[in-house]
Amino acid sequence: MTLLRAEGLVKSFGKTHALDGAGISIREGEVVAVMGPSGSGKSTLLHCIAGILPPDSGTVHYRDRDLTAMSDSERSELRRTEFGFVFQFGQLVPELTCLENVALPLRLSGMKRKDAERAATDWLARLEVDGVADQRPGETSGGQGQRVAVARALVTGPKVIFADEPTGALDSLNGERVMHLLTTAARETGAAVVLVTHEPRVAAYSDREVVVRDGRSRDVEFAR
Amino acid sequence: MMCIVPRMSIGHALLGLLEGGPRHGYDLKRAYDERFGQDRPLHYGQVYSTLSRLLKNGLVTEAGVEAGDGPERKRYAITDAGVTDVERWLSTPEKPEPYLQNTLYAKVVLALLSGRSAAEVLDTQRSAHLNTMRELTRRKTDGDLADQLICDFALFHLEADLRWLELTAARVDQLAVEVMR
């Protein structure tokens, strides 16, 4: 079943046309790689379909809800409850321990500290980084930090994980580990993954790819 | 299953295995298949024809016959010349061969010349490459360390092709102008 569908997305930053009629369709539980050269508009596409950036025109539907018609607070509520995010770096709160970082989204949703930390502990173990629970992000390696970030993205049980170059700052071995753990966990929980990457070996963890070039996307599923 | 692992010199591989001590042909085949066979085990014919060539060139020597119920089993041992040959093989780099680019380049140019879509040729190829890479990634995930290393080798090579494809895709318009000139 289609979970997320965007059509005719146009987005400009000043005179730069980042998106020029892009579309994409994401089904429940599938892992889709969004590929394309730097500056092709792939990150902008991700930001638009994740409700982070409003497009200038075009529509984004999550199930039967139109993201472009929502208020900012409705969109941020949707992001918090249905979506998870993993970026290249800089997403963990440096002052909090890794455990507190993973527990944070649950705390923000009003869960009790003890329950939130118990869930966070489970997710850190699933991502094989329970050893750094009490450390701050700055004290962990790049690969460990990304796995903590993946745990934080998954802890709320999101339906879609948006990952923008999640292995961009890692070496091959650590990157592969993160991709393996991320896709395995997503498949186990039934979450879809929208994975922006320019690395073919990272894209090889996906079920299919959507190629973005010059602000337009080529999505085989979308054409159906 | 696909096989992207480059063809390797069976003779050198057998010599290398014989450095561990004399073996008979069947034993060698088993050792080869276990370490390097992956998708395509050796045929007995290959083993014996390779051994007879190595024998003729003085790289191995017969080291007695193993008695048994079945057919007699000749044992083979590596000679000093054989060891030197293995050393030379190990210390000589493989020729870095561009193999696929020529065909793909020809396809792209011919598509442009005939007014077809070069971008489509590249997109189709990318999709095929990625599918193979997905299969290798799955196989790597389920496999042991040897599988992982062999799959990674193939994956990095396919990735190199894909990087070339992306670069070419980004320059198709420019290439079209040059081709049509």
Q: How confident is the model at residue B1 (pLDDT cuts 50, 70, 90)?
A: very low
**Are residues B18 and B58 both part of a single domain?**
yes
Residues of chain A neighbouring B162 (CB-CB closer than 8 A): 200
pLDDT per position as a tens digit, B84-133: 998 888 877 766 555 656 677 777 877 787 777 888 888 888 888 899 99
Please answer whether residues A219 and A7 qualify as being in contact, where contact means their C-beta atoms are separated by less than 8 angstroms. Answer: no
Q: Strand A31-35 and strand A192-196: pairing? A: parallel
pLDDT per position as a tens digit, B21-75: 999 998 999 988 887 776 678 898 999 999 999 999 999 999 888 766 666 688 9
Mean pLDDT of A160-167: 95
Mean pLDDT of chain A: 93
Q: How confident is the model at residue A154 (pLDDT cuts 50, 70, 90)?
A: very high
- Please provide residue A211's backbone torsions phi and psi, each rounded to the nearest 5 degrees: -100, 130
First to last CA, chain A: 13
- The verdict on B129 touching A (C-beta cutoff 8 Å) is yes
DSSP B36: I
- The verdict on B172 touching A (C-beta cutoff 8 Å) is no
Last residue of a domain, one of B36, B69, B91: B91
Q: Which of B133, B166, B170 sits opposite A204 (nearest CB)?
A: B133
**Are residues B122 and B54 both part of a single domain?**
no
Q: How confident is the model at residue A221 (pLDDT cuts 50, 70, 90)?
A: low
Structure tokens at B65: 């016959």
Which residues, in sequence order, are bridge partners of residue A34?
A196, A210
Q: How many CA atoms lie within 13 A of B94 on its CB side?
A: 7
Query: Positive or negative, the Cα torsion across B149, B152, B153, B154?
Result: positive
Question: Is B3 a member of any domain?
Answer: no
Please answer whether residues A27 and A49 qualify as being in contact, where contact means their C-beta atoms are separated by less than 8 angstroms. Answer: no
- Assess whether pLDDT exceeds 60 at residue A12: yes
**Are residues B127 and B81 both part of a single domain?**
no
Cβ-defined contact of A211 to B126 (cutoff 8 Å)? yes
Question: Is B57 a member of any domain?
Answer: yes
Q: Which residues touch B16 (CB under 8 Å, ≥6 apart)?
A: B86
**Are residues B66 and B117 both part of a single domain?**
no
Q: How confident is the model at residue B6 (pLDDT cuts 50, 70, 90)?
A: very low
Q: Strand A208-213 and strand A2-13: pairing? A: unpaired
Structure tokens at B121: 């040729």
Which residues, in sequence order, are bridge partners of residue A195?
A33, A163
Q: Which of A180, A200, A218 sits opposite B162 (nearest CB)?
A: A200
pLDDT of residue B106: 73
Last residue of a domain, one of B91, B111, B132: B91
Question: Is B36 a member of any domain?
Answer: yes
Structure tokens at B26: 């069947």
pLDDT of residue B3: 39
Question: Is B2 a member of any domain?
Answer: no
Q: Measure the CA–CA gap between A5 and A122, rounded to whole angstroms.
A: 32
**Are residues B35 and B57 both part of a single domain?**
yes
Question: Is B1 a member of any domain?
Answer: no
Question: Is B174 a member of any domain?
Answer: yes
Question: Is B4 a member of any domain?
Answer: no
Domain span including residue B37: 10-91
Q: How many domains does chain B have?
A: 2
Note the ipTM here.
Answer: 0.83
- The verdict on B120 touching A (C-beta cutoff 8 Å) is no
First to last CA, chain B: 43
Name which of B64, B70, B89 is nearest B14 in CA terms: B89
To 10 degrees, the CA torsion angle through B34, B39, B45, B51? -50
Residues of chain B neighbouring A31 (CB-CB closer than 8 A): none
Q: For position B35, which CATH number holds? A: 1.10.10.10
- The residue type found at B128 is A
Q: How confident is the model at residue B5 (pLDDT cuts 50, 70, 90)?
A: very low
In three-state secondary structure terms, A92 is: coil
Question: Is B145 a member of any domain?
Answer: yes
> In angstroms, how far apart are the furthest CA atoms of chain B?
75
